[in-house]
């Protein structure tokens, strides 16, 4: 398959009963994704550092393990959905998951990590005769629950083809290039999301400060050139002051820092991303780390005396 192409599989093409899949990381995203695999008929083996989060899958037919090495031992495909590249590396190479995986098996890292980390992990797994795909996602917990994630995959075309029957359970997959390219695409996604959240927050706050009805302003510009998924979803959270986390401020900051690190690595100037990295960092410093990333609104409101 050529880079940039998309392929969809119908339900009739998905026969998971004989495919064993290990999922490492059963958190906000990992749980609904593993749940969908169970419901699609795959044999699911699950592990999470906090055991009770994985235990919820047992009633859906998954086998829950206390060590990642045990979860992956007989898996055809291993999916990681972990906090960051350091944690992925720790689980794979320090906690024994990589050496426990069968030769010829496939590791699909769906975590959001640095492209340079993805390439390093792929090289180390290749020495163990394990195939690799970096396939981070966008769409949040709602997309994970509904099977509507956008999946950006980097790696060999053959590995992408092999992964498709699994990835299709989660949403729409696009092969964007060689190893690390999926993570580059995710960084692009997070740059656009983080920056656009800031634009929506600042614009709505300006209107409120000037005496306009924020909810009505959002309604007025809906359908115009400024309309976006961010305006609709995050703008509504701002109107309602509902910042219960779907994607946390701390995670958005991590992604922007990864983008800046990657930009520096390849000699690319990213002044807009640099500004927003600073804004999210200050929000986190002010105690907003566990708010939804639309909580940047709170930081900007505070700066303007609009608590």
Q: In the chain, what are the domain boundaries?
A: 11-177, 185-303
Q: For 81-91, what is the mean pLDDT?
A: 96
What is the C-alpha separation between 42 and 44, in angstroms, rounded?
A: 6
pLDDT > 70: percent of the chain? 94
- CA distance readout (Å), 81 to 9, 26, 119, 233: 23, 7, 17, 24
Instruction: Report the catalytic residues.
Output: 186
Structure tokens at 167: 């990835």
Question: DSSP alpha helices (H): ranges in the chain?
Answer: 30-39, 51-55, 68-72, 85-89, 97-100, 115-126, 140-146, 157-167, 181-209, 214-221, 229-240, 249-266, 271-283, 296-303
pLDDT digits (tens, 9 = 90+) for 22-63: 999 999 999 999 999 999 999 999 999 999 999 999 999 999
16 pLDDT higher than 70:
no
Q: For 91-107, what is the mean pLDDT?
A: 98
Neighbouring C-alpha atoms within 13 Å toward the C-beta of 20: 13
Q: For 165-190, what is the mean pLDDT?
A: 97
- What pLDDT does residue 196 have? 98
Looking at 30-44, 185-199, 245-259, 281-295, which range is the least confident one?
Answer: 245-259
- CA distance readout (Å), 238 to 274, 276, 295: 23, 18, 8
pLDDT digits (tens, 9 = 90+) for 270-300: 999 999 999 999 999 999 999 999 999 999 9
Q: Are 55 and 35 in contact (CB under 8 A)?
A: no
| Topology adopted by domain 185-303 | 1.10.1040
100 pLDDT higher than 80:
yes
Q: What is the pTM of this model?
A: 0.86
Task: Domain 11-177: state its class.
Answer: alpha beta
């Amino acid at each position: 398959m050529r880079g940039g192409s998309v392929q969809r599989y119908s339900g009739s093409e998905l026969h998971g009963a004989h495919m064993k899949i290990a999922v490492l990381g059963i958190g906000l995203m990992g749980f609904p994704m593993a749940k969908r695999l169970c419901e699609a008929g795959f044999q699911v083996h699950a592990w999470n550092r906090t055991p009770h989060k994985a235990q919820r899958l047992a009633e859906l037919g998954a086998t829950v393990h206390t060590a990642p090495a045990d979860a992956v031992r007989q898996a055809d495909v291993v999916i990681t959905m972990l906090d960051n590249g350091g944690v992925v590396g720790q689980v794979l190479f320090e906690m024994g998951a990589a050496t426990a995986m069968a030769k010829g098996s496939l590791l699909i890292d769906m975590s959001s990590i640095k492209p340079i980390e993805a390439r390093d992990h792929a090289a180390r797994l290749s020495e163990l005769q394990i195939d690799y795909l970096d396939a981070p996602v966008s769409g949040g917990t709602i997309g994970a629950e509904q099977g509507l994630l956008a999946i950006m995959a980097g790696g060999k075309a053959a590995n992408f083809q092999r992964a498709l029957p699994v990835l299709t359970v989660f949403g729409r997959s696009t092969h964007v290039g060689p190893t690390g390219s999926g993570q580059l695409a995710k960084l692009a996604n997070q740059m656009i999301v983080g920056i656009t959240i800031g634009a929506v927050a600042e614009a709505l706050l300006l209107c409120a400060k000037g005496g306009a009805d924020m909810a009505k302003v959002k309604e007025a510009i809906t359908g115009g050139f400024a309309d976006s998924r961010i305006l609709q979803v995050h703008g509504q959270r701002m109107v309602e002051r509902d910042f219960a986390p779907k994607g946390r401020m701390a995670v958005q900051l991590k992604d922007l820092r990864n983008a800046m690190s990657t930009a520096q690595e390849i000699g690319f100037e990213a002044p807009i991303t640099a500004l927003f990295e600073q804004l999210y960092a200050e929000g986190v410093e002010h105690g907003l780390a566990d708010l939804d990333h639309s909580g940047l609104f709170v930081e900007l409101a505070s700066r303007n005396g609009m608590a």
